[in-house]
């Protein structure tokens, strides 16, 4: 176990991101000591869980040079559907929710995957289309019916309240679990490595004979499944749902992953980074709230963070490129 963790130990970018996260947490704690208490930490985890889970699902897709904008709609769809089913079946428990949620999400994922991988259409447009279709489906099916806590399975809501070690909510524990599994998969399975190769050089991936269709397709199915699970998380956190649930949050997910070092140009990044990215965004938000910055600025700060992140990424890449070129010139001369 020890060696497993040490091998997964975040290196390079994830390492520095982790340090930035800790420093941010520290500073925020200095300003507002409540932030460092058990309650503060638990709140951070609770409020990050949904986005973090989605970012984990999104990471392999961005690594493959694609994007999935449909996730927020899928969250809305599954959240509403599960609430609807459990309202009509009072003996529904959390177990069924955890099975049905990802299954619904996977349907959207299969659709995305077929269009992107099968017809080789640009994922930006395809998932923009499914963003509409899925959200529209929620509107139509829901018929403006909302659900509240009393219509949801008590076992699910209880689970949402469950906290381990005083700070770790059940949902975030699952996030960590998903993060570690996917991180291991992306590092130690051929399918995971193929994702990096495909994103790094799609043309060469074809030449080498990698299974581009299958990998791309499955990545979208996986993202869909994670979005479905995130829909369940959404219910656990908010205990209410209407047809506009999680509306427009897809770009926040992309931002979390990119801030976490998943390069939008493909080929690099990890799910650990994506998770840290989601936490970092949430911490900075919390920190700024603590020093009295109006909550209205929240979105502006998100945007700025994203731009700073891609700028830093770009600058580092350029610097190393320049060093290598200089080295080559020297060798040649």
Cβ closest to another protein, residue 91 vs residue 207: 207
**How far apart, in whole angstroms, are the C-alpha atoms of residue 228 and residue 279?**
21
Binding of another protein by 145 (CB under 8 A): no
Residue keyed to tokens 């619904």: 104
Quick note: the x/- pattern for another protein over 118-137, rule CB under 8 A, is: -x-xx-xxx-xxxxxxxxxx
The phi and psi torsions of 169 (rounded to 5 degrees) equal -65, 155
Nearest-angstrom CA–CA distance, 213 and 199:
13
Decide: is 181 part of the binding site for another protein (CB under 8 A): no
Say how many residues touch another protein, by CB under 8 A.
80
Number of separate helices (H) and strands (E) present in the chain: 14, 2
Q: Which residue in 193, 237, 240, 288 binds another protein (CB under 8 A)? A: 193
Q: Which is nearer to another protein, 52 or 239 (CB)?
A: 52
Query: Which of 23, 307, 316, 319: binder of another protein (CB under 8 A)?
Result: 307
Which 2-61 positions form the footprint of another protein (CB under 8 A)? Answer: none
| Smallest distance, another protein to C-beta of residue 242, A | 12
* Spatial separation of the C-alpha atoms in residues 218 and 211, rounded to whole Å: 11
329 part of the interface to another protein, by CB under 8 A: yes
Phi, psi for residue 162 in degrees, rounded to 5 = -70, 135
Contacting another protein within 212-231 (CB under 8 A): none
Task: Give residues with Cβ within 8 angstroms of 308, minimum separation 6.
Answer: none
Of 165 and 296, CB closest to another protein:
296
Q: Is 306 in the site for another protein (CB under 8 A)?
A: yes
Is 195 within 8 Å of 189 (Cβ atoms)? no
CB of 281 to another protein, least distance (A): 10
């Amino acid at each position: 176990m020890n060696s497993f963790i040490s091998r997964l130990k975040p290196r390079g970018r994830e390492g520095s991101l982790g340090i930035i996260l800790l420093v941010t947490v520290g500073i925020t704690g200095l300003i507002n000591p409540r932030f460092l208490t058990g309650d503060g930490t638990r709140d951070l985890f609770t409020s990050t869980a949904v986005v973090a889970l989605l970012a984990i699902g999104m990471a392999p897709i961005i690594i493959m040079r694609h994007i999935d904008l449909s996730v927020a709609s899928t969250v809305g769809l599954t959240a509403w559907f599960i609430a609807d089913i459990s309202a009509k079946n009072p003996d529904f428990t959390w177990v069924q929710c955890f099975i049905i949620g990802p299954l619904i999400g996977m349907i959207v994922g299969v659709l995305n995957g077929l269009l992107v991988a099968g017809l080789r259409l640009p994922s930006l447009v395809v998932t923009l289309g499914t963003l509409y279709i899925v959200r529209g489906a929620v509107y139509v099916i829901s018929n403006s019916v909302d659900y509240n806590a009393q219509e949801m399975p008590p076992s699910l809501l209880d689970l949402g309240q469950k906290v381990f070690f005083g700070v770790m909510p059940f949902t975030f524990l699952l996030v960590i679990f998903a993060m570690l599994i996917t991180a291991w998969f992306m590092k130690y399975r051929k399918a995971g490595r193929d994702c990096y190769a495909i994103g790094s050089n799609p043309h060469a991936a074809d030449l080498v004979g990698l299974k581009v269709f299958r990998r791309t397709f499955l990545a979208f199915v996986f993202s869909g499944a994670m979005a479905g699970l995130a829909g369940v998380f959404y219910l656990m956190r908010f205990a209410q749902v209407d047809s506009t649930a999680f509306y427009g949050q897809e770009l926040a997910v992309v931002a979390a992953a990119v801030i976490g070092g998943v390069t939008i140009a493909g080929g690099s990044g990890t799910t650990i980074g994506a998770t840290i990215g989601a936490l970092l965004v949430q911490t900075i938000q919390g920190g700024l709230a603590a020093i009295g910055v109006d909550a209205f600025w929240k979105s502006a700060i998100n945007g700025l963070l994203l731009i700073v992140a891609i700028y830093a990424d770009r600058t580092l890449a350029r610097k190393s490129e320049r060093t290598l070129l200089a080295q080559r010139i020297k060798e040649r001369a």
